Amino acid sequence: MKDIETTLADLSGRLPEACHEKNAQDAAVLIPLLQKDGEWHILFEVRSASVRQPLEICFPGGRIEENETEEEAAVRETAEELCIGKEQVRIVCGMHKLMRSSGGFITSYLGILQDYEGTYSREECDHVFALPLKQLLDMPCSMYKGRTVSIQPEDFPYDKIPHGRKYPFRSAQRTWYFYETDGGVIWGITAEILYRCLEVLGKKD
């Protein structure tokens, strides 16, 4: 084992590391831009009836595989779900890193689809649709405030903490986002990713 002085020297310059539950999955998604009739649109997927969260609206994306960066995962998943080549996805920039309800992080990227002809994987998607960016920037977003609470297991050692069962565990505030669009209702983490993206794209300064 290295002595502490060597360890401290080795750690010089280390950046803070995001930590979460061991079994929580990190994911990455793409917010896909494409041009239709000379106007910028954002593409959305509607999940297949045979996958998790069936028939919900989402962005292309999925879990980050071992030895894969977040950006690589977003591009790979987009290519697989839209049946296109990775070279057809041009990343513009990273957008946000949000905590998922499962405990992992989901990282979003803004990207441009090139030479996209409306293809998609029938296993992953029921269908895809695109909405004009200008329309989305003007569209109201409904927000609902809620809270998530901490539920302890039956064998939780209350006798080891001050106040025992009366300990004032905190609940966390959660905002739920909803967009009512011509393609259907966009809600949950997808709506939050969209909301935060539109905040950036719509800045006037």
pLDDT tier, 204 (very low <50, low <70, confident <90, very high otherwise): low
For the domain made up of 22-201, give the CATH fold.
Nucleoside Triphosphate Pyrophosphohydrolase (3.90.79)
Nearest of 25, 12, 3, 196 to residue 105 by alpha carbon: 25
SS3 66: coil
Give mean pLDDT, residues 174-198: 95
Looking at residue 179, its pLDDT comes to 97
| Residue 15 predicted with pLDDT over 90 | no
| Cα-based angle 28, 31, 35 (whole degrees, multiple of 5) | 150
Quote the pTM value: 0.86
Can you tell me the distance from the alpha carbon of 57 to that of 60, in angstroms, rounded to the nearest whole number?
10
Residue 19: its pLDDT value, please? 73
Residue 123 in tokens? 């296993």
How far is it, in rounded angstroms, from Cα 201 to Cα 138? 12
Domain spans in the chain, listed from the N-terminal domain onward: 22-201
CA distance 147 to 85: 41
Q: What is the mean pLDDT of the chain?
A: 91
